[in-house]
A and B are shown apart, each in its own frame.
Chain A
Amino acid sequence: MTKADVVVIIVCLLAALILAVYLFNSQEQGKLLRISHDGETVITIELAESISRERQDSESGGRGIYYLITYEENRAVPVRYEERPDMPVGVNYNLVYISPEEVWMEAADCRDQICVHHRPIAGNRESIICLPHRLVVEIAGEGQDEALDGMVK
């Protein structure tokens, strides 16, 4: 190990720390959940309203709703379910579980299953991304999400 090695390691770790602080300093509870496909918003959901009508009385665990996203001719079609639906046959899909407390990818037929293994998200600006299906599920606050995305498009 040379001095330059140590410098590189420290610089990289510092860069990670600064980036993390910069990106996550507004780590408040997010209010909106946005699901987008190929950069286009498929649906936006108020997290507070993502409570199943049939199971709204049950305590914290399992009172959320499901959104099944299927892909037809490269277009993403979202359908809301109050209970966990059966998986569709013959089309690609992502099944998202949404509750006011946390959001996760319940199931998907993508090849790598990275999105399904992703830990649940809750905080502002957290996201689950399914690269094979080009689907992004992200939590945003109010009125602060368009500015950053504009840079990419």
Chain B
Amino acid sequence: MKRTVELGFLLAVALILSYVESLIPFTFGIPGIKLGLPNLIVLLLLYSARIPAKGAREALLVNGLRIVLSGFLFGSLYSILYAFAGALFSFTVMVTARRCRCFSMVGVSVLGGVFHNIGQTVVAMFVVETFAVLYYLPVLLVAGVMTGAVLGIAGMEVLPYFRQHIEAK
């Protein structure tokens, strides 16, 4: 029961982060570049769990609900579709990277950011049925590396406090 409350709390934090992100004007004349702040919650859940599979399950649950809720609050059905494509892709990669233990939080976060952008580019390619979308990919890759690294560093700083207050079983 206590865990449910904690996850609900984390979902609320992730939603706030989605909102904060939507407030930051972050346009470089190229669409699709975001900070990916809510991914911080996913990272923390993946890293704080003692049993990796349980952490992955909880992170997936919180992030999935976050996407649906923030989609209805700040976006549209279309943006939910895009967000899911990117999130599932990056989530799978992050869980795998976390398992292999050779990466720190920065590496996992960078991989997550990069594959989030690859996933969204692929979906956009099928939606507008053109190859032209691919020309955004180099910029999106670099953006994924940078935002991923920033979030990974932030995550490493926050993790000890997170562990203190949110006790993973």
Contacts and interface: CB of A to CB of B under 8 A. Distances in A.
Binding site secondary structure of chain B: helix
A14 B102 CA distance: 21
Interface in B86-138: 102-104, 106-107, 110-111, 114, 124-135, 137-138
Interface residues of A, number: 41
B130 to A, nearest CB: 5
Nearest to A137: B132
A104 to B, nearest CB: 10
Interface stretch (A42-50, A52-60, A87-95, A124-132): A124-132
B15 interface: no
Interface residues of B, number: 36
A5 B107 contact: yes
A117 interface: yes
Given A117-B27, A136-B128, A149-B130, A12 B76 contact: no
A123 B65 CA distance: 41
B78 to A, nearest CB: 6
A131 B79 CA distance: 10
Interface string A135-153: 1101000000000110111
A39 interface: yes
Contacts of B102: 2-4
Contacts of B142: 12-13, 16
Contacts of B132: 125, 127, 129, 136, 138
B131 A17 contact: no
Given A119-B30, A129-B128, 20 more contacts: A1-B104, A1-B106, A1-B107, A5-B107, A8-B107, A8-B110, A9-B110, A12-B114, A15-B141, A17-B138, A36-B130, A111-B76, A114-B27, A117-B29, A129-B31, A131-B78, A136-B128, A152-B126, A152-B129, A152-B130
Interface of A: 1-5, 8-9, 12-13, 15-17, 19-20, 23-24, 36, 38-39, 111-112, 114-115, 117-119, 125-127, 129, 131-132, 134-136, 138, 148-149, 151-153
23 contacts: A1-B106, A3-B102, A4-B102, A9-B149, A12-B114, A12-B141, A19-B138, A23-B134, A36-B130, A38-B129, A39-B129, A39-B130, A111-B76, A115-B31, A118-B29, A119-B30, A127-B130, A131-B82, A131-B124, A136-B128, A136-B130, A149-B130, A149-B131
